[in-house]
Structure 1
Amino acid sequence: MVNISTTTQTSMDIFRAIMDHGPLTLYSANSKTGIPIGTIHRHFKQLSKTGRIRVYESKRKGRKKIEYGPTIYGIINVYKLDSEFARKIENYFLIWIENKEFQKDLESEGFDITFENLKKSKHVFRKYMEYFSAVEDQIEKIKRGEDSISRDIQILFGSMMLSPDPHYQKLWAELYRDLPGTQKTLDELMETMIKSYKEFKRNFKR
């Protein structure tokens, strides 16, 4: 496991408790981990705010309490930091597939969660975790300035983010038409992406 801060370690301990015993309330997390209530409350708030955990519908009888379970994004973040957690990932999949909130997250990512495909899905889930945990590592490197994205790619991403706005969409179309250099750069970039996509498809069929 990589070196991590005490705060990150505490968040991971709480998250693992949720994965192993959850969904958990504030007090049940305290019972499972021994971490003070105030600390758990602070970490629950941060984990929820950053999209790593979410509220799950309580299955307990009687008075309903707020229980939290994992998100796919939350699992990815612990997977890339904890090798023991990563080894158990298929078991976690089989445990959490019973929860409709987890199923909804999986479906939004394109997973087939029907019963007859459950065994296959757990293997796909491991591959998904391995790939997207590596993607998250790259994102973190870029944020820290340890890696860089070419200016052309940055412009493409920025343009895509502006594309829903009709005003900027029109401006971009006019610039593409009126600036030969812009047209050439974008055409070359798109041709490279199409070439890479075709190569990807060829590898997929092998």
Structure 2
Amino acid sequence: MEFQGTRQHARPVTGLFFGSFNPIHEGHVGIARYLLEEGLCDEVWFIVSPCNPFKIDRFLLPEAERLEIVKAAIRDDTRMQACDVEFTMPKPSYTVDTLRLLFDKHPDREFILVIGGDNVSAFPKWKDARWILKNCPIFVYPRLGEQVDLLPGMRLIQAPLFPLSATAIREMIVADKDITGLVPGEALPLVKKYYRKNI
């Protein structure tokens, strides 16, 4: 399974960026933009996960509101899409089930999974991890201060590092601190509205 740096594929390549996006921030959008500008993908879909099996005990804004925020954040770039495919699937959401569904639904596309470096060590615990490694290339983006031991089928990409996590941004909202520049400007009003109401 080869990775291409320059787009030469017969079928469009779609990067699948799974996440809670709780909330989406400039780091997420920066990774997607890097993949597109480097020619690693033709488009990036943000797969908004209703319930991450590894984050069940954490606060989550309602999925419809997180999806609305993602749509606002990427509104100006038609190469990016917000996807709610997991909203009607059994919960918690397992990446392999979504991949199988998308593979069947979109045989005209090639898919690449995009994950954070902090997910690599736990990846063997994912449902049907071997199937994912065999059937779907994986791009791994670095997290600040972390070293990553990649598994076969994974490739580390040199996407820009983002200094804060979604958790830190939520904490800033609770503390009524300014988050301008941390989340995309188009999404900022919605982030403030929904998180101040729910947290």
TM-score category of the 2 structures, normalised to the smaller one: under 0.3
From the two aligned structures, give the one with the greater strand fraction. 2
- Higher RCO (CA < 8 A, seq sep 6+): 2
Larger Rg: 1
From the two aligned structures, give the one with the greater helix fraction. 1
TM-score, normalised with respect to structure 1: 0.26
TM-score, normalised with respect to structure 2: 0.26
